[in-house]
Structure formats: structure tokens, C-alpha cells
Amino acid sequence: MDLIDFKTSLIDSINLKLDDGVEVTERSVLKNNSVVVNTLVLFDEDALCAPSFGLDSLFERYTNGESIDAISSYIINYYNENVGKEESMDIDLSYPKLKDRIVSKVISKEKNKEFLQNIPHKEILDLAKVYYVIFGTDDGGMKTTMVNDVMINYWSGWNITVKKLDRLADKNENIIMTPKITTMQDTLIMLCQNEPYDPPIELLEMVADSQMYVISNKYDTLGAGAVFNPSVIEKLKNIYRDDFYMFPSSIHEVITMRIDKGKNESDLKKLVEYINSGYVKEKDILSDKVYKFNYLKDKFEIVK
């Protein structure tokens, strides 16, 4: 069964289980890096929210052996557990109510030109730091809404500058997202926990010698921007006590490494480009650049 037949069968299965007044529709959504994702949306005109489900991820579950009936039941159960409880929902979207939930993420400035036209953001070299409100997390992921120009200019109590928005996000992230710095050795060991082998000793020794760290947040989601958080920068400065490299692994994490004077920086840039082109999903790519933290100037720079 191909994706088109799967979509048709899944919609039929969902419709058999839906309550009256709820519709399932297909919608194309513009995601990070201008990637268009096809989704199924369950909509009720009396509800405050309409959950959406990526078709590609649903189809992957099917190809991995899950039945269409089980997938449609998952969608219905999620809808029933999260929609239709407006009486108990706090829908105050004023700035005083949401200010402690504002956090940030970094994305490619070049690949998101259209998106950034109506979004308050801070430029960091070839990247853009954007802001969103996080309402909570569950098995379906994070429940968020992007901070846009309409919110900061017209919504009750907002009227906030990007500079203030940025300071607020940095403060909130230390509480809500909890930035983390993990050694590459620990990361490799964790990745191999469910594998029938351990990471090679030589590899662990190599990454230890290079002082490689993975920077993200406690959710390992949208965590690449943690490297620009002032508290994280201070910790990295104390670790390296010198300049260091930063590699954009994805929008979810970055990797830092001490500078080896014997390494050819052009080879490092080619390595990042190679990994992005073959191993990172288009919507998750952050940048093809290599960055260097200048210890004396106390700022990140692009390696030329």
C-alpha cells in the first residue's frame, strides 16, 4: 500500500470512529526550512484547538507493522484526551499570563526568509533566534505556539521589544527547558544502550581527547539554541578556557570541540555539509557552516 492509499484508508477508519460534528481534513503545513508537511487535522468548530498529525510519520508507523485500525484509534484517543475540555482550559493569552512560558529556538535565516517576515527574531550570524510559548508536553510532543508580530503588537499587554523578549526567553529556558551539556562519550554510550555492542574504546578515547560535548535541552528537542544561552556559554568558557568549535548537528542539538591546530578547517566544513546532505532530515538542518567561539572577543564567529 502506498502513501495515497494509506491516507484514504486511514481517513475512512477515522471517520467510522469520530463523533458527529468532528471532521478530518488534509492540510499542508509550512515547517522549518520551508519544508511542506502534509497533515491530517481533526476539526470541531466548537473546539478551541484542532490537533494535527503528520502523514509521513503515520505512514512510517504503518510500514513498521502497526495496523490502520490501531493508528486511527491512537488519533481518536489523542483527540478525546486533549480536545473538548474548554471549560477547564485557561485561555488567557495576555502577556502577563504567558511571559513565564516564552522560550526560543534557532533556525536557518536563509532557508526561512518568508517565515521570518512576520516573526520577531534576533539574528545570530547566519541563524535566526525565534520565540515560542510552550504550554506543556505529552506523548504527542510539545504543545506550543509561535510568537508573531500580531501577538507582540496587538494582543493584550504584549507590546514587547525583541531585546526584552530575548532576555525573557534566556531566563525561562533555564527553568523550563533546562539546557544540558553532555560529553560525547556519555552520548555514544547512551545511544548504544539498546544495541548488541558497545562503542569502540578507540572512539571513546578520541572524543574524550577532543573534548567533544553535545549541547541541547532536557527534551532533546529544539535544543540547538541552548548554546547561545548566557549560562551555557559561561560553562563552555570554563571547560575550554580558549577558543572552541561549534558544529550545527541539527535544530535539536549542536556539538562543541576543542580546536586542534593541526586540523584543516575546510575539511571540517565539508564534513558538516556531507552529514547534512546524507543523514539529517531537511526540516531539521540548522546550517552547513562551522562556527568558532572567540574566547577573547567573547562571541561566536563563522569559520571562513
pLDDT per position as a tens digit, 118-137 = 899 999 999 999 999 998 77
- Contact by Cβ (8 Å): 103, 177: yes
Residues with Cβ within 8 Å of 123's Cβ and at least 6 positions away in sequence, in order, are 109, 129
Question: Domain end: 156, 176, 196, which one?
Answer: 176
| Side-chain-side CA neighbours of residue 287 (13 Å) | 24
Question: Are residue 82 and residue 120 in the same domain, yes or no?
Answer: no
- Contact by Cβ (8 Å): 58, 40: yes
Residue that has been written with the C-alpha cell 541541547 in this structure? 216
Question: Are residue 34 and residue 104 in the same domain, yes or no?
Answer: no
| Chain centroid to CA 287 | 14
Question: Are residue 194 and residue 292 in the same domain, yes or no?
Answer: yes
Question: Are residue 69 and residue 104 in the same domain, yes or no?
Answer: no
pLDDT for 8-26, tens place per residue? 999 999 999 888 888 898 9
Which of the pair, 12 or 202, is modelled with greater confidence?
A: 12
Question: Are residue 184 and residue 268 in the same domain, yes or no?
Answer: yes
Provide the whole-model pTM.
0.79
Residue-level pLDDT at 52: 86
Question: Domain end: 176, 208, 223, which one?
Answer: 176
Determine the structural domain holding residue 58 and report its residue range. 3-88
pLDDT for 56-114, tens place per residue? 999 999 999 999 999 999 999 988 887 755 444 456 778 888 999 999 999 999 999 98
| Chain centroid to CA 32 | 9
Question: Domain end: 152, 176, 200, which one?
Answer: 176
Question: Are residue 203 and residue 277 in the same domain, yes or no?
Answer: yes
Listing DSSP states for 105-160 in one string gives EEEESGGGHHHHTTS-EEEETTEEEEEEEEEEEETTEEEEEE--HHHHHHSTT---
How many independent structural domains does the chain possess? 3
Question: Are residue 103 and residue 36 in the same domain, yes or no?
Answer: no
Question: Are residue 188 and residue 297 in the same domain, yes or no?
Answer: yes
Question: Are residue 168 and residue 236 in the same domain, yes or no?
Answer: no
